[in-house]
A = this chain, B = another copy of it.
Amino acid sequence: MGKRVVITGVPGVGKTTVIDGAREKLKEENIDYTSINFGTCMFEVACEQGKVKSRDEMRKLEQAEQKELQKTAAQLIAKIKENVIVDTHCTVSTPGGYLPGLPSWVLEELKPDIIILVETDEDQILKRRMSDTSRERDMEGYLSIKEHQEYNRAMAAAYSMLTGSTVRIIKNQDFLLERSVADMLDILR
């Protein structure tokens, strides 16, 4: 059985860069990780089941259906025997508040070994979000990003209590990408 690693981070934290950097180095060491985006996996399940045709339709599904899709996606990922990185959100900031990315019914199927929180300074996240014009994002302030990152730690602790997984905080500082890639490598190796 391979390692099952969940990786999370607020938008703009540079999660993808860290994952890509680590996977590249791992390839040189002949260590393979399948990388799965949890949201994409849910969407593909929904398409196959004929429930939606576009990602926009996902949000309009009823709560019970969303829950079922989350469960099925988690079961699919849990069947993978190789090392796997699950790219998802610890919590999503919605108008109704912070929504857990891995509620109990997902965790009970997914049973992650490690949950990684990629974090960085709120100021740097702000700058990255402001310079990223490719995505449309609701602009959050410094304090609100700080609140979100802190809340994610509390949520990760709850995930860990239920599953027994470890929780690792990786700091992705500007100009220090190599450092966070190295931290990530330590975990994935």
Contacts A151-B153, A153-B151 hold; do A97 and B161 have CB atoms under 8 A apart?
no
Q: Are B169 and A67 in contact (CB under 8 A)?
A: no
A43 at the interface (CB under 8 A from B): no
What size tier do the contact residues of chain A reach?
A: 35 or more
In angstroms, Cα B94 to Cα A114, docked, is 11
A window 134-169: CB within 8 A of B: 147, 150-151, 153-164, 166-169
A28 at the interface (CB under 8 A from B): no
Contacts A151-B157, A153-B154, A157-B155 hold; do A166 and B104 have CB atoms under 8 A apart?
no
Binding site for B on A (CB under 8 A): 67, 91, 94-100, 102-105, 107, 113-116, 147, 150-151, 153-164, 166-169, 186-187
